[in-house]
Structure formats: structure tokens, C-alpha cells
Amino acid sequence: SPVIVWLRRDLRLSDQPAIAEAARKGPVIPVYILDDETPRHRAMGAASRWWLHHSLDKLGAALNDKGSRLILRRGRADEVLAQLAEETGAQEVHALHHYEPWWRNAEKAVGKTLTLCLHHGNYLAPPGSVTTGSGGLYKIYTPFWRALRERMPPHEPERRPQKIAAPARWPASDTLSEWGLLPKKPDWADGLRDMWEPGEEGARKRLRAFVEEASAYEGQRNLPGVEGTSMLSPHLHFGEVSPAQVWQAVADAGGSVATFLGELGWRDYAQNVILQYPDYAGRYARDPFGDFPWRRSRRDLEAWKQGRTGYPIVDAGMRQLWHTGWMHNRVRMIAASFLIKHLLIDWREGEQWFWDTLVDADYGNNAVNWQWTAGSGVDANMFVRIMAPLTQSEKFDAAAYIREWVPELADLSDADIHDPPPGKRPKGYPEKLIEHRDARERALSAWQQAKAEQ
Ligand code: FAD
């Protein structure tokens, strides 16, 4: 009888152990299930859906080349798999491990009726396997990374299978277009199309291009105006490339790549955190954040989302996000910190917006980084260390970046563009929502108040 491969965020054929193992056993039925029920309010956001559409399209074509197909079904994953098994006589399901809490629940449910074989492959080491001397999981990144680093390099990536045998009869499949994953009117995806090529081939191209420049990463990674980072995040999120493949390609390139590998380690660390705190995107890990006097200002939140805060670096980042589904890491930190500390808005509002607009929106990475920025995480920056956006903008040379994303400021000089002086603020560009010094005082006194009430 055929074996089902249940695909989720692992949309590749090479170094994909669920596909490889199933292909060794006999006929394979690869299935992707669009499941908005299991994750509930964590169903994929709009930018991720755009990506998913294209990634599935590419994966379907790659499977066709191997004589196989991609079966598309919609519904609750455990129910759909049980139904598919009944239709096809399959009893075994192969899949990669996923650590989002809803997927872990779904895996339990599937395991009750079918033989579910879970493989490791989307992380450098299986999350949960990197343990302290006493066998517990790490809370803090640095010792986690030290322990993970000792176990590296990861496994040797496996090539795509030569052949994937087809079942005697294919089960029915939905079509991608009927899923409606692409934006309807208005079509906001122009910027995404210009910038990205979802799918395994697109991931391979990005990786190849990055490897050429990898030794410059350390010097350039903080400069938003330079394409100094790999831009692999959506490809890694959707599993179009495995971290073992990235590791191998980058390490083989030689040069100083330790910083880059350490960033890749953050990805594993985030999974290690959500294993311990499954509701990390909704709950503070530390006091006094439970009773924090957040402001509820719809006006300020909207200005932040739209890139109209009056702080050019923040606005440039938020507009880059809206147009391309991605934001430079340094600017993510500045924009997130601005929402939390300058506007005193609960970081969960920002986390949600990123969830909807990022093409790399990732439950673990997003929550860990938001909690890190807020100072509420298990490993976190201190709340009282308040980033000064204007200083950051100058320090990391963001003038060209601002010109690109906030074109109404393009004519300002390098000296003026980070903080346009009153007389030079073009008409139509907003005043600052709040002065940095006032924001700082307000944030510190909110912190004192929260601590006093603890
Ligand atoms: P590179 O610098 O080339 O890094 C290589 C890879 O390492 C990335 O593709 C990513 O998979 C991983 N990585 C790098 N930095 C981090 C990090 N700090 N945490 C976890 N993994 C990391 N990243 C996401 O993938 N999804 C998210 O939803 C997400 N939300 C974020 C929210 C905030 C507030 C902040 C400050 C950061 C967030 N990040 C998130 C982390 C980081 O900004 C992106 O991974 C990075 O900018 C992606 O660009 P890149 O691929 O060029 O990264």
C-alpha cells in the first residue's frame, strides 16, 4: 500500500527525509493540507499565503518531474489524513517534526489512528535534544548556542530522490486557484513579486548568491541600506531549503562566517523556547509585564503600521515590510522597540501585525524576537534600555534606505534625513508622534509603576 507524505513547512525535495524515506518504501502520496482550523487564530497571515501559493505551485511541478503529484486537500489535518488513508489504503504517514503547539497537538491526533513517522530535518539539531548538564532545556541563547555549536556540523544533506513511485490510483486533489491564497482586490503583492522567487529553486539561487558574499556578512549585516544578509528567512520558514544545506554551503565557502552561523542558531533557539513555552506569542515570560500600563491608542498603532510615525527609520522599515513582506533585522528591532517603548503599545499588537505582513512570519522566531525586544522574554534585552531611533539611524547609515522607502524625504541631505529639522520637514510627512526624550521618560515611569504594583 502507498505511504502518505504530509507536507507542512518543508516544501522541498532535497534533504527532505520524510519524502526520501517514503520513496524508499514504495509508492508515495504527497499531500499538503490547507488547515485553518487546527492553528485557530494562528492561521497563516496574508503575506504567508501569497508565498505558500507560489511555493506549492513550484513543488507540484517538481513532483511532476519525478513522476509524482502534489495532492491538495483542505480541512482539519488529522481528519483529512484519516480520510485520505481510507481512500487509498495507506496506513503510514511520514512527516517532518514541527514544533508549533498546534502541530504538536495535531501530530498526537494523527498518531491515534495512523502510523505517523516523524523525521528530523528543519533544524540544525532536533529541538529538545540540546540539553544542559542536568538534562533540562536552555532558557538563554548563549549557552544554548555553545552547546549546539559543539554538535555541529549538522548531518550531511541528502540529495533529492531519483524516483518517487506513483500509487496505482491517484486520490482527488483540490486546485491551488480554488484555495484563493492570492490577494483579491486590491492586489498588494507587486512588491512581493518583484523581490521574491518562492520555491526550492528560488531558495537555491538566494543561497548561491549569499555564499559569494558571506564573508562580508559580519561587517554589513547591520546596515539596512546594503543587501548584506542572506534573505533566506522565508525560504527557511517554508522549508524550501534545510538549515543543514545552508550550513554546509556557507561553511564550505570559508572566511569568517561564525556570526552568520550564530544567527542561524537563533532559529533553533526559538524552537527550544516554544517547546518550553508553547503560548510564548501570547504570554509574558517575566514580571512585571502582566500588569504593564500599556496605552491603547488606535491612532498611534495605525500610524506605526502605515509608516507614518514621523521617525524616518521606523517609517522606512514599516513601509519596506508592507511592500516586500520583509524588513531588515536591525530595523525590525528599531521599529519593534519604537512601538513598545516610544508608543507604549503592547508588543502583542506588533507581533500580530508582523504575523500578517511578513513572508517569513514564524511563530517561534517572531514571538522570541518580540519578547526579546520588549524585555519580557526568558532571554531578553532590558526594558529600561531604550533604543534611540535617530541615533540608530545615523549609526547604521540608513540614509539611502530611508530615501528608498520614504521617497518624500529623498531630497534631504544625509545630515538632515534621519531627523528632518522643523523647517525642512516636507509637507505631507508627519510630525513625530512623540519626542524621543518625552517617550523615554514616559516609558521609564510606566516601568516604575508596573514594578510598584507588582
Ligand atoms: P540573516 O541575517 O541572513 O540570517 C540567516 C537566517 O538565520 C535567517 O534567515 C533566519 O532564519 C535566522 N535568523 C537570523 N536572525 C534571527 C533571529 N534574530 N531570530 C531567529 N532567527 C534568526 N525571523 C523570522 O524568520 N520570522 C519572524 O517572524 C521574525 N520576526 C522578528 C520580529 C522582530 C521584532 C525581530 C527583531 C526579528 C524577527 N525575526 C524573524 C528575526 C530576523 O529579523 C530575521 O530572521 C532576519 O531579518 C531575516 O533576514 P535574513 O534571512 O537576511 O537573515
pLDDT score at 117: 98
Look up residue 406 and give its three cell numbers.
520614504
CATH number for 418: 1.10.579.10
- Among the listed residues 196, 370, 372, 447, the single catalytic one is 370
Annotated binding site for FAD: 217, 229-233, 260, 360-362
Q: Domain check: are 260 and 342 in the same one?
A: no
For 53, residues 6+ apart whose C-beta sits below 8 A from its C-beta are 176, 179, 181, 182
Q: Domain check: are 267 and 394 in the same one?
A: no
Look up residue 85 and give its three cell numbers.
488513508
Q: For residue 193, is it within any domain?
A: no
Q: Cis link prior to 288 (omega < 30° from 0)?
A: yes
Nearest residue by C-alpha to atom 36 in ligand 1: 333
Nearest residue by C-alpha to atom 46 in ligand 1: 329
28 contacts 47 by C-beta, under 8 angstroms:
no
Distance 236 CA to ligand 1 centre (A): 10
51 is catalytic: no
370 is catalytic: yes
pLDDT score at 255: 77
pLDDT score at 381: 85
Query: Which ranges of 130-242 would DSSP assign to H, the alpha helix?
Result: 141-150, 176-179, 190-195, 200-213, 217-220, 233-237
Distance 350 CA to ligand 1 centre (A): 15
Question: In sequence order, what DSSP letters do the residues of 297-361 get, joined into one string?
Answer: -HHHHHHHHHT-SS-HHHHHHHHHHHHHS---HHHHHHHHHIIIIIS---HHHHHHHHHHH-TT-
Please tell me the distance from the alpha carbon of residue 340 to that of residue 200, in angstroms, as a whole number.
36
Q: For residue 420, is it within any domain?
A: yes
End position of a domain, from candidates 246, 276, 306: 276
3-state secondary structure of 118: strand
- Among the listed residues 179, 294, 381, 408, the single catalytic one is 294
Which mutation among 211, 329, 366 tests ligand 1's pocket best, with the greatest number of atoms within 8 A of CB?
Answer: 329
Q: Domain check: are 35 and 93 in the same one?
A: yes
Distance 391 CA to ligand 1 centre (A): 22
263 is catalytic: yes
Please tell me the distance from the alpha carbon of residue 344 to that of residue 445, in angstroms, as a whole number.
11
Q: Domain check: are 396 and 439 in the same one?
A: yes
3-state secondary structure of 30: strand
Atom of ligand 1 nearest to the CA of 355: 28
Distance 369 CA to ligand 1 centre (A): 8
pLDDT score at 397: 97
Please tell me the distance from the alpha carbon of residue 42 to that of residue 366, in angstroms, as a whole number.
12
Amino acid in position 318: M
Q: Domain check: are 3 and 84 in the same one?
A: yes
Distance 365 CA to ligand 1 centre (A): 7
Q: For residue 176, is it within any domain?
A: no
- Among the listed residues 179, 329, 381, 408, the single catalytic one is 329
367 contacts 351 by C-beta, under 8 angstroms:
yes
Q: For residue 284, is it within any domain?
A: no
Please tell me the distance from the alpha carbon of residue 172 to that of residue 177, in angstroms, as a whole number.
15
Q: Domain check: are 111 and 135 in the same one?
A: no
Please tell me the distance from the alpha carbon of residue 415 to that of residue 402, in angstroms, as a whole number.
12
The domain of 439 spans 289-452
Q: For residue 365, is it within any domain?
A: yes
92-96/71-74 β-pairing: unpaired
- DSSP 8-state symbol, 132: -
Please tell me the distance from the alpha carbon of residue 426 to that of residue 420, in angstroms, as a whole number.
9
Closest by alpha carbon to 97, among 84, 87, 89, 106?
A: 106
Nearest residue by C-alpha to atom 45 in ligand 1: 233
Q: Domain check: are 241 and 96 in the same one?
A: no
Q: Domain check: are 112 and 61 in the same one?
A: yes
Q: What is the mean pLDDT of each run of 10 residues along the chain (454 residues)?
A: 98 98 97 96 96 98 98 98 98 98 97 97 97 96 98 96 96 98 93 97 98 94 96 98 97 88 98 97 87 95 98 98 98 98 97 98 98 94 94 98 98 97 93 97 96 87
130 contacts 151 by C-beta, under 8 angstroms:
yes
pLDDT score at 131: 97
294 is catalytic: yes
Look up residue 407 and give its three cell numbers.
521617497
Q: For residue 397, is it within any domain?
A: yes
pLDDT score at 325: 98
Amino acid in position 274: I
CATH number for 55: 3.40.50.620
Which mutation among 233, 264, 354, 373 tests ligand 1's pocket best, with the greatest number of atoms within 8 A of CB?
Answer: 233
Q: Domain check: are 345 and 355 in the same one?
A: yes
Atom of ligand 1 nearest to the CA of 363: 28
247 contacts 15 by C-beta, under 8 angstroms:
no
- Strand ranges for 70-181 from DSSP E: 71-74, 92-96, 115-119
Pocket of ligand 1 (CB under 6 A): 221, 229-233, 236-237, 263-264, 266-267, 270, 329, 332-333, 336, 354, 358, 360-362, 365-366, 369-370, 373
Distance 354 CA to ligand 1 centre (A): 12
Annotated binding site: 217, 229-233, 260, 360-362
Q: Domain check: are 31 and 134 in the same one?
A: no
Q: Domain check: are 352 and 259 in the same one?
A: no
pLDDT score at 173: 98
Q: For residue 369, is it within any domain?
A: yes
Please tell me the distance from the alpha carbon of residue 17 to that of residue 14, in angstroms, as a whole number.
8
320 contacts 405 by C-beta, under 8 angstroms:
yes
Nearest residue by C-alpha to atom 12 in ligand 1: 264
Atom of ligand 1 nearest to the CA of 234: 25
Distance 383 CA to ligand 1 centre (A): 21
Distance 17 CA to ligand 1 centre (A): 25
Tell me, yes or no, if the pTM score tops 0.90.
Answer: yes
| Strand order across the 28-34 sheet | 71-74, 28-34, 3-7, 92-96, 115-119
- Among the listed residues 158, 201, 263, 394, the single catalytic one is 263
Q: For residue 192, is it within any domain?
A: no
State the virtual CA torsion across 433, 437, 439, 441 in degrees, nearest 10: -160
Please state the domain count of the chain.
Answer: 3
- Among the listed residues 266, 381, 394, 408, the single catalytic one is 266
Q: Say if the ipTM goes beyond 0.95.
A: yes
